[in-house]
Each structure stands twice: as C-alpha cells, then as structure tokens.
Amino acid sequence: MEPNASLALESVAIPVHVETPDDPRGTVVLAPSAGGRWSSPSLTRLAEIFRRQGYRTVRFDFEYRAAGRAFPDPMPKCMACYRRVVEAFHPGGPLILSGQSMGGRVASMLAAEGFPCVRLICFAYPLHPEGQPEKLRDAHLPNLTMPTLLVNGTEDALCRRDLMEGVLARLPANVAMHWLQGVDHSLKPAKGSGRKPSSVYEEIESVLAG
C-alpha cells in the first residue's frame, strides 16, 4: 500500500495516508512509534479497527523518518509535525488524537497543552525508557482534561504496571486504563503468554467499542 497524500514541511515531504468510510462519525489521527511508520502492521490494524467503527483515519510518518533518520527529533518538533498534519487533514468535526508508543506520547502532550480534541487514545504509552523506570514520562498527564484511554500490555518493558498504577492514582477520573494481559510493548503476545496475535486486536476493538 502506498500513501495517498503528503504534507510538505520545511525539510521534507512526509507521507500521509487517509481513509474515509461512508458518513464518518469523526477523525482519528494515528501517529507511529519512534521506529515505526504510517504503514507499520500494528498501526495499520489499529486504523482498520477505527474505520470499522466509522471513523476517518489519518496516518503519517514523523519528519525524521521521512528524511531517512532513525533517531527521533526533539519532542517539540514531533509535536509540531503532528499539529501540522491535523491542521492539513482534519476537515472539521469530532477529532480523536491517538498514536502508538512515542506517537501516543506526542498526542498526549498536545492534548495536555489544550489542543482541541474530543478524546485521546494512547496505545503502548511509553511511561519510561526501557530499563530506566526512574525516568517517568508522566509530568503532563495530570493536565489531560478530555476523556482519555491508555492501552498497554502487562508485559510492556516501557510501562511497568506498578509504576503506571501509581501514576493513575494521581490522575483525574477522565483518564482510564486498559491492560492487555500477556502483551508486550509492540502489542504482540509475549513469549509464553499463550495468546494469539489476533486476540490482542479483538480485545482492543472490544474496548474501543465499549
């Protein structure tokens, strides 16, 4: 599959993929993980779920990935890229900010700054770097005022469950958490979990429909 749109930024044109069902109920913008792209299998499956539920989906590459670089840009630059995509491809109506791993973190930081959206949904939120649980990325989370859903696996190496539960206890009631049993940071069944990959996305679809 090829991207069906692009957005010219200062240094590069980033690929964008937009899919619109009949009579969409709103738009979901999905940002990839730090090492992912708009076409990553996990982001593609998440987009499919949202479209089945009637949403227009917008996926894109961050500027550094489009330029062929592996290391992420500073967070303000990633946020600016996300913002530009929304401004260019959101036609109006209800807007959900979303993303996987770093993409979800970027979306959450925009939402915490007051970027207008009706909901925030983060998949595999990276609460801390792998192996560095003392470096929590939670300072902005109490500023989330819109309905927010965080979806992480219980075997996520970037989101230790006990640490996230401690953070959640300090967050407002509009922030909800769903744990995917036996699932890792890439939204895949962890070794020995006994889960089938399809069951992960079936559970996610059920949670989003609830």
List domains and CATH numbers for the chain: 5-209 (3.40.50.1820)
Of the candidates 123, 78, 73, the residue with the CA atom closest to the CA atom of residue 96: 123
Q: What pTM did the predictor assign?
A: 0.96
Tokens of 109: 């930081």
Concatenate the DSSP letters of all residues of 66-130 into one string: HTT--SPPPHHHHHHHHHHHHHHH--SS-EEEEEETHHHHHHHHHHHTT---SEEEEES---S-T
Say how far apart CA 146 and CA 130 lie, in whole Å.
28
Q: What is the pLDDT of residue 191?
A: 93
- The Cα-based distances of 97 to 67, 86, 104, 116 in angstroms read 24, 9, 8, 9
Torsion of CA 110, 75, 159, 100, to 10 degrees: 60
Render each residue's pLDDT in the chain as its tens digit; 210 residues: 789 999 999 889 999 999 999 999 999 999 999 999 999 999 999 999 999 999 999 999 999 999 999 999 999 999 999 999 999 999 999 999 999 999 999 999 999 999 999 999 999 999 999 999 999 999 999 999 999 999 999 999 999 999 999 999 999 999 999 999 999 999 999 999 999 999 999 999 999 998
- Strand order across the 13-19 sheet: 5-8, 13-19, 56-60, 27-31, 95-100, 119-123, 148-153, 175-180
Q: Residue 204, SS3? A: helix
CA 159 to centroid of chain Cα atoms:
14
Q: Would strands 13-19 and 56-60 be described as parallel, antiparallel, or unpaired?
A: antiparallel
